[in-house]
């Protein structure tokens, strides 16, 4: 990031505060995803909060720096990874019971010895899948929306 040509002024306060704040935002997002079973929250909310940390990074440090941190190809791959994780957990229920259980019947995934615990853990896996998809999609939408302005000479608002 040093020595780059920037199209706007750097602000020490904003950069320092964002640097400090972004890891905590991401930690809170992971907490919301995992804690969705026990309290308010879930995959969608946690994914949105996680994506908002990327949005903050992009707003503060610019598109070029953010594009290096979150490469577009990886982001596009993560978008489909979440849906595949969700559908894969559903398919796993059929596979491990050789067709005895229905699709998305998490109790039959052999994670623990309790039927109910299996359901809770399957739900957690599914929430993680939703979180990955939502995070990648919102980041992607924002990156694509702010693309044009900086590319074409970067006129300041």
Verify binding: residue 107, other proteins, rule CB under 8 A.
Answer: yes
In contact, 129 and 39? CB cutoff 8 Å: no
Q: Single out the residue of 19, 72, 74, 77 in contact with other proteins (rule: CB under 8 A).
A: 72
**Per CB under 8 A, 79 contacts other proteins:** yes
State the Cα–Cα distance between residues 26 and 33, nearest whole angstrom.
11
Per CB under 8 A, does 18 bind other proteins? no
Residue 146 token pair = 């702010």
Binding flag, residue 137, other proteins (CB under 8 A) = yes
Interface with other proteins, residue 14, by CB under 8 A: no
Residue 106 interacts with other proteins (CB under 8 A): yes or no: yes
Q: What is the C-alpha to C-alpha distance for residues 2 and 61, in angstroms, rounded to an integer?
A: 11
Interaction of residue 114 with other proteins, rule CB under 8 A? yes
Site for other proteins, rule CB under 8 A: 32, 36-42, 44-45, 48-49, 51-52, 55, 59, 63-64, 67, 72, 76, 79-80, 82-83, 86-87, 90, 96-97, 100-101, 104, 106-108, 110, 113-120, 122-123, 126-127, 129-130, 133-134, 136-138, 140-142, 144-151, 157
């Amino acid at each position: 990031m040093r020595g780059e040509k920037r199209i706007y002024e750097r602000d020490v306060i904003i950069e320092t505060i964002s640097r400090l704040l972004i890891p905590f935002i991401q930690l809170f997002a992971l907490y919301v995803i995992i804690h969705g079973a026990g309290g308010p929250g879930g995959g969608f909310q946690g994914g949105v909060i996680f994506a908002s940390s990327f949005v903050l990074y992009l707003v503060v440090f610019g598109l070029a720096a953010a594009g290096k941190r979150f490469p577009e190809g990886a982001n596009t791959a993560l978008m489909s990874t979440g849906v595949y994780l969700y559908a894969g957990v559903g398919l796993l229920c059929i596979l491990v019971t050789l067709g005895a259980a229905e699709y998305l019947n998490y109790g039959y995934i052999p994670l623990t010895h309790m039927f109910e615990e299996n359901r809770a853990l399957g739900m957690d896996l599914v929430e993680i899948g939703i979180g990955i998809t939502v995070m990648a999609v919102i980041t992607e939408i924002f990156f694509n929306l702010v693309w044009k302005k900086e590319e074409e000479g970067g006129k300041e608002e």
